[in-house]
Structure 1
Amino acid sequence: MQHLQLGQEVNAKFSWKPLTNNGVTFINNGATHDSGYTPQNFKMIVNNSISGNVVQITYDNLQHSSYGDQKITKIIAIVHDVVKKAQTGNVDFWNNPFNRFWYEEISDITIDYHFYLANGQEVNFDPKLSDAWITAGSLNSGGGRTEAVKLESAGKAYGFYKSSVTAHNGNELYADGSNERNTTESAFGKGIIVPIPQGEWWDNPATGLRSKNAYYGAGVFKVEGKGVSLHYKVYGKPNQWESIWANLDTTMPKSNSGIVTPTIHYHHTNVALGLEINLIS
């Protein structure tokens, strides 16, 4: 079952600390992508690709996040190893961690998230006690480019039933084919493989992962241990580095109300044992 909840934290206290001055500029309240999310934000302008740590972001005074019966009151995020693909790259962050971040003209960016209880103890996601699932959504693919996210900490990636996004070697989630209406191919030269669901568009910014069709562009990580490290990446043509919305969410996409816990089905074949996660609707 899902025991990790990351809620809307509109009253979060937000601070950030540069960890390098090499090739990066920080602008307080300079976010330009959907900056109406929250009044507090900052923009990171990346002038050169950066190896190592770039900035530490602290989200404090959290009131709507928990793991089991324990309240999560603080998140510390370490941004590191950023690869730009144009003259300059941009990354926007907001004080509400639920709003995640946007990155533009950047092919790779990794963020290590650490979660803390009120007593200052770091949360340890122990699968023997309580499961913790993090959903990666809005993974667009088309026009010669494909968005991906890879779990680099302990845990495992899974795909949702009938999603265009599948789990690949190394716990990486992305769509092999296109999942866009008016584009022809993914970064891997493939068109639509899994049919796009009818009705509400799956990548609706107004409803996010609460949309009944959001599963089509999403996958999920079962995370373990202390800290969650996510490597966000874009595969594709050099001229297709658009603005990317990256998310950190614990909502399970579903076709009805409430969070739905995925059921894991084991399929035996002559070659290997496959894992598939089905949505319960």
Structure 2
Amino acid sequence: MKQYQDAKQAISSINNSNLDSAIRNAQSTNGVKLIDDGTRNVTVDVNNYATKKAEIERDNKQQADSINSQVQQYKSDLQNYLNKINNNSSVVSSNEIIQNLTLANEWDAKVSYQVTGNNIKQSSQTIKTGDSTYSHVIDIPQGKQITVTSFSSDNPQTFKVTATFTGLKNSSYQGRKITKLVEVYTITPNTSAKGNAVAIYSDPTNGFSEFSSKVNVSYEFYYEDGSKVNFEKGTAYLALGSLNNYQNGQDHYEYAKVISGGKALGLAGSSVSVHNGNVLYSTYPNTARESEYGADSHYNTNPQHSPNFDKYYGWDTGWLNSKAFYGSGLVSLEGSKYTFEVGVGGEKHFTTDELRNDLPANFLWYNMATVIPRTDIQKPKLTVHYHHTNVELQQPEAVHYHLDSSKKYS
């Protein structure tokens, strides 16, 4: 009986403190995910309890050492990441994003327009596989086509266009189908403009082109039952791409400004960053080399390029390009209506009509995606697994005996 009591006492004193301390350390470290793999049950007896106790304590120590080592390395990696993004809370890496919004190509969408303005000219062009429009090619599958409709004024004026897209088939939020999108455009001419225009694509993911203008646009999405989509914070993002800068933020830099319904975010390692809390653009040239400007160009022939310019040169060819993040920013959507402004900055530096009207200074193509471009810089993550062990001591076997009544015992 004493051997059993000794075993029971030994089992009750198994050392779990080092493991529990490591778990608390991981729990208190922001960004660490802890997974309890459950409790392992071990049965021992009076003959092997000491060996099993030693094994369990070794396992506890090995788990504790591993958890502490992983947490220490994670903290170091996290600090290196924060140093790379200058501890900027407006910068995120692509692996941080939880995306519940899908806006895929809508080749078969129908779109109707309402225009408010004076003598606004309207014309349409059908685009098929391999066709180009406004200096760029859209990748259209065989057998599909879209329409681009332009609205222009020969004299500079502010006018409005409401575009209503219906029959959407490939868009959803949190698994619920989105079938309708209403976009309201306000097109305001640049001060140097001789006329201004906007061209809108029937596939909303292909965005729009603007000429000699800045464009204010609001988006409202609708479900099949006609109710508005209301985006929850941290669940829906738009990637805004092809934000070019050609000369030190002066002659031509393209920007996107969040007015309401969202928050501007920079992507880790991108040339595009957040300015004044809600404006996305690249501070320095991120698009062309000096040799591409031309000897008689009005662009700066010796600009200070964006960091890693040569590493990511050639990024501006679409969302499938692995370097696309370099000219992109993000908007985190919240609420039922998102309003933003896009345009070309630096107009105050245009000194002649030739410069004011020379492309690309007064032209911008805007497009969006919900596939977040992968950043080279990734925020470190850590998932820690652990388990505890429960020990059950077998009861000693009872000793059975009987007395022979025919015998006398003394």
Partner of 1:252: 372
Deviation by residue 1:27-56 (Cα, 9 ceiling, x = unmatched): 2338952587644221111334444x6111
Q: Secondary structure of the residue that 2:105 maps to in structure 1?
A: coil
Q: Secondary structure of the residue that 1:215 maps to in structure 2?
A: helix
- AA matched with 2:117: N
- The alpha carbon displacement at 1:138 in A equals 0.2
Equivalent position to 1:146, from 247, 250, 253: 253
Distance 1:135 1:264 in 2: 22
Deviation by residue 1:83-105 (Cα, 9 ceiling, x = unmatched): 23421223211211111111122
Distance 2:274 2:240 in 1: 11
Partner of 1:68: 174
TM-score by length of 1: 0.80
Distance 2:309 2:137 in 1: 30
- The alpha carbon displacement at 1:191 in A equals 2.0
Q: Which moved more, 1:215-224 or 1:84-93?
A: 84-93
Distance 1:201 1:217 in 2: 10
Partner of 2:232: 126
Q: Are residues 1:175 and 2:282 paired?
A: yes
Answer 1 or 2: which has greater strand percent: 1
Distance 2:245 2:198 in 1: 20
Contact 1:101–1:246 (CA<8 Å) still a contact in 2?
A: yes
Equivalent position to 1:113, from 197, 219, 237: 219
Contact 2:256–2:281 (CA<8 Å) still a contact in 1?
A: yes
Partner of 1:8: 105
After superposition, the Cα gap between the structure-2 partners of 1:46 and 1:156, relative to the gap in structure 1 and judged at 3 Å, is same
Give matches, 1:10-29, under 5 Å. Answer: 10-18=107-115, 20-22=116-118, 24-29=120-125
Distance 1:153 1:24 in 2: 28
Q: Percent identity of the aligned residues?
A: 28
Distance 1:8 1:179 in 2: 27
Distance 1:77 1:186 in 2: 35
- AA matched with 1:125: F
- AA matched with 2:307: V
After superposition, the Cα gap between the structure-2 partners of 1:186 and 1:246, relative to the gap in structure 1 and judged at 3 Å, is farther
Contact 1:137–1:214 (CA<8 Å) still a contact in 2?
A: yes
Structure 2 residues not aligned, in runs of 5+ = 1-97, 128-132, 382-410
Contact 2:287–2:314 (CA<8 Å) still a contact in 1?
A: no
Partner of 1:83: 189
Contact 2:101–2:235 (CA<8 Å) still a contact in 1?
A: yes
Structure 1 residues not aligned, in runs of 5+ = 257-261, 266-281
After superposition, the Cα gap between the structure-2 partners of 1:186 and 1:35, relative to the gap in structure 1 and judged at 3 Å, is closer
TM-score by length of 2: 0.56
Q: Which has the larger radius of gyration?
A: 2
Q: Are residues 1:201 and 2:298 paired?
A: no
Equivalent position to 2:200, from 93, 107, 112: 93
Contact 1:157–1:167 (CA<8 Å) still a contact in 2?
A: yes
Deviation by residue 1:61-94 (Cα, 9 ceiling, x = unmatched): 0011111111110111000142234212232112
Contact 1:163–1:216 (CA<8 Å) still a contact in 2?
A: yes
Distance 1:79 1:28 in 2: 17
After superposition, the Cα gap between the structure-2 partners of 1:264 and 1:157, relative to the gap in structure 1 and judged at 3 Å, is farther
- The alpha carbon displacement at 1:198 in A equals 3.0
Distance 2:111 2:164 in 1: 6
Distance 1:90 1:43 in 2: 7
- AA matched with 1:233: G
Q: RMSD across aligned C-alpha pairs, in angstroms?
A: 2.9
Q: Secondary structure of the residue that 1:74 maps to in structure 2?
A: strand
Equivalent position to 1:41, from 138, 141, 148: 148
Distance 2:289 2:282 in 1: 16
After superposition, the Cα gap between the structure-2 partners of 1:255 and 1:225, relative to the gap in structure 1 and judged at 3 Å, is closer
- The alpha carbon displacement at 1:200 in A equals 6.7
Count of residue pairs the alignment pairs up: 252
Q: Which moved more, 1:80-89 or 1:220-229?
A: 80-89
Q: Secondary structure of the residue that 2:319 maps to in structure 1?
A: helix
Contact 1:179–1:196 (CA<8 Å) still a contact in 2?
A: yes
Distance 2:282 2:369 in 1: 19
Distance 2:137 2:288 in 1: 27
After superposition, the Cα gap between the structure-2 partners of 1:264 and 1:125, relative to the gap in structure 1 and judged at 3 Å, is farther
Contact 2:265–2:331 (CA<8 Å) still a contact in 1?
A: yes
Partner of 1:277: none
- The alpha carbon displacement at 1:58 in A equals 1.0
- The alpha carbon displacement at 1:249 in A equals 1.6
Contact 2:146–2:203 (CA<8 Å) still a contact in 1?
A: no
Partner of 1:102: 209
